Amino acid sequence: MSAALLNRLKPAVSVAIRPWSCKPPRIEPSSAASARLYSGLMEPGAPLFRQLFESESSTYTYLLADTDTGEAVLIDPVLETVDRDLQLITELGLTLKVALNTHCHADHITGSGLLKKKVFGLKSAISRHSGAAADLLLSEGDRIRFGKHSLTVRETPGHTDGCVTYVTEDERMAFTGDALLIRGCGRTDFQQGSAQRLYQSVHQKIFSLPGHCFVYPAHDYKGQSVSTVEEEKKFNPRLTKTLHEFVNIMNTLKLPKPQKIDISVPANLVCGLHDI
């Protein structure tokens, strides 16, 4: 390997070995790409973590597991990728305990129902304010445990009434659904949407997390995989505005209706308990 290539790799390697140190990392714009690239590397004792992608709806599914007990949770499973996800879970020797949904999605059908058919004893979970059926109806402060780890529920409505963010116990990872996207946020013009509630949810429940907390959204349409609370507080083009400015932005987006909403929403209201 040439000296020039080694020099180019040094900054990335430096970031790779430090994202889980006790001292919150200072992420400069020049190193943000490296931090995002290596953010999945964990220190001993941290949960196993995998980020999975479904291309048609640009949905991220997240797998977390306790490395000692093998107990696992899956966040925002997608119907079309259930077999892929189960293959990975089997290969890693894990036992899937809960299929979690951040909200009732309008652009795809959740994989929760099909997973329940294929995995004995699996529980589905969603916010009790979503109007959807599930084994576990979640509220603010509830904890979902897997082995020695847990995720805490933070209610973050605004995109829908039933949006929640799942936060790891050490507040190093937040799975924000559509409430907070990378340099964006979920739309507020349907499914009980409210721009004012979304703004308040993000600022009170997500931006109150440590700046080094990694933000993992339910979707990304530009090839980005992860951000941080600090980055979004500085660079999010919508949520860095005042409340009045934000509401005006959201009320004038004029976005097209999601193509699958007429199929997805009715299915997602029931398939937390029933297979598709």
Side chain identity, residue 88: L
Q: To the nearest whole number, what is the mean pLDDT of the chain?
A: 85
Q: Rounded mean pLDDT of 189-197?
A: 93
Question: 172: pLDDT confidence band, cut at 50, 70 and 90?
Answer: very high
- Candidate ranges 8-12, 23-27, 189-193; pick with highest mean pLDDT: 189-193
Task: Confirm if 110 and 79 have CB atoms less than 8 A apart.
Answer: yes
Of 27-41, 94-108, 158-172, the one with minimum mean pLDDT is 27-41
Residue 23: per-residue pLDDT: 40
Distances (CA, A) of 108 to 5, 137, 240, 249, 259: 42, 20, 29, 26, 9
Task: Confirm if 185 and 203 have CB atoms less than 8 A apart.
Answer: no
Beta bridge partner(s), residue 146: 149
Task: Confirm if 228 and 214 have CB atoms less than 8 A apart.
Answer: yes
Torsion angles phi and psi, residue 258, rounded to 5: -55, 135
Q: Rounded mean pLDDT of 178-196?
A: 95
Does position 10 have pLDDT exceeding 50, yes or no?
no
Residue 164: per-residue pLDDT: 98
Does position 27 have pLDDT exceeding 70, yes or no?
no
Question: 212: pLDDT confidence band, cut at 50, 70 and 90?
Answer: very high
| pTM for this predicted structure | 0.84
Q: Which two tokens stand for residue 72?
A: 């696992």
Read off the pLDDT of residues 120-163 as tens digits, 9 standing for 90 and up.
999 999 999 999 999 999 999 999 999 999 999 999 999 999 99
Residue 42: per-residue pLDDT: 58
One-character DSSP codes across 137-164:
EE-TT-EEEETTEEEEEEE--SSSTT-E
DSSP state of 110: B
Does position 35 have pLDDT exceeding 60, yes or no?
no
Residue 191: per-residue pLDDT: 82
Q: Which residues, including other chains, have CB under 8 Å from residue 218's CB and lie 6 or more apart?
A: 59, 60, 76, 102, 103, 105, 175, 176, 177, 178, 181
With b for 16 or more beta-carbon neighbours within 10 A and e for fewer, the 219-253 pattern comes to bbeeeebbbbbbbbbeebebbeeeeeebbeebeee
Of 24-33, 187-196, 263-272, the one with minimum mean pLDDT is 24-33
Residue 48: per-residue pLDDT: 97
Residue 26: per-residue pLDDT: 42
